[in-house]
Amino acid sequence: MLKTTLLNAVQAGAAQLQHYFNGEFKISNKEGMNNLVTEADHAAEKAIIDIIQKDYPDHFILSEETGEIKTDSEYKWIIDPIDGTVNFANGIPLCCVSIGLEKDGEMILGAVYAPLLNELYFAQKGFGASLNDKKISVSSKTELIKSCLVTGFPYTYLDAPNGPLQVFEKLIRKGIPVRRLGSAAIDLCWVAAGRFDGFYEHKLQAWDSAAGFLIIEEAGGKVTDFEGNHFSPHQPHILATNGKIHDELRAVVNGGEVII
């Protein structure tokens, strides 16, 4: 039943994304430059929450636009109604709906649906990960220097030593391709599918990574914070890889040099 509700919710959100895409809709700005929220975000969020609350009215909900709907439930739904809103607002189809479900603080289900790409990713704790119902697994590359990476830059951050720009420069100066797609949830899923070998980002919110990190783990990858600790979406730093380049990439993110 939980899986059915999750898939119904992610599809309902995606229907709103498709409805508004390349149409006319209201856009406003949150804190920081180009940190957008659109009429479609709110419509997608309402559609998602309506389905969850119909089936499980007592469950805790954390959603990007609404915030927390607190209850005493052991279950928490973590929702990003449209991840990649800047892409969406500019007619770029790299955007998606992302929903993760925690039970007692452990992620047990995750779904990311990019309807404009016709890609639905799903994972259940202990049961593997899939793309459009076909099993997926991470890549097999073993060297960072031969990897293809993806990252994102936060809208607001201090220009701290070894920050996002510095790590990015260090990698690309060694000839390592590092892409920036504008949707952390898609970035994570593409690591899970073996398209990228690793992903890192300095500042994410829980709704950005909740579903995607489980999908990577269930696809055989590794996800930690920058210190190598077990990942929690409720802290900002994320390092997600195929597992084979994890230590090398973690060293670079923490100030080390790329080993050739």
Q: What is the mean pLDDT of residues 101-127?
A: 98
Same fold, 2-135 and 144-253: no
CA 248, 251, 256 angle in degrees (round to 5)?
115
Average pLDDT, the chain: 94
- From CA 48, how far away is CA 56, in angstroms rounded? 12
How far is it, in rounded angstroms, from Cα 222 to Cα 243? 5
- Residue 99 CA to residue 81 CA, distance in Å, equals 8
For the chain, the domains span: 2-135, 144-253
Q: Which amino acid is at 58?
A: D
Q: What is the CATH number of domain 144-253?
A: 3.40.190.80
Write down the residue that tokens 């790409």 correspond to. Answer: 117
- Sign of dihedral through CA atoms 214, 215, 219, 221? negative
Distances in Å between the Cα of 197 and the Cα atoms of 1, 165, 194 are: 33, 20, 6
Helix, strand or coil for residue 109? Answer: strand
**pLDDT surpassing 90 at residue 49:** yes
- The pLDDT value recorded for residue 34 is 57
Token reading at 122: 């799903």
CATH 3.30.540.10 corresponds to the domain 2-135: yes
- State the CB neighbour count (10 A cutoff) for residue 133: 7
d(CA 260, CA 10): 42
Contact 238, 231 (CB under 8 A): yes
Instruction: Read off the pTM.
Output: 0.94
Dist. CA 183–CA 151, nearest whole Å = 9
pLDDT of 158 over the 70 cut: no
For residues 61-77, one letter each, b for 16 or more C-beta atoms within 10 angstroms of the residue's C-beta and e for the rest, the string is bbbbbeeeeeeeeebbb
Which structure tokens are listed for 85? 């809103």
pLDDT band at 163 (very low <50, low <70, confident <90, very high): confident
**Out of 35-39, 42-46, 78-82, which region has the weakest mean confidence (pLDDT)?**
35-39
Judged by DSSP in three states, 216 sits in helix
Predicted confidence (pLDDT) per residue in 192-214, tens digit: 999 999 999 999 999 999 999 99
Q: Minimal CA–CA distance to 165: which of 203, 197, 196, 222?
A: 203
Query: Is the Cβ–Cβ distance between 10 and 48 less than 8 Å?
Result: yes
pLDDT of 180 above 60: yes
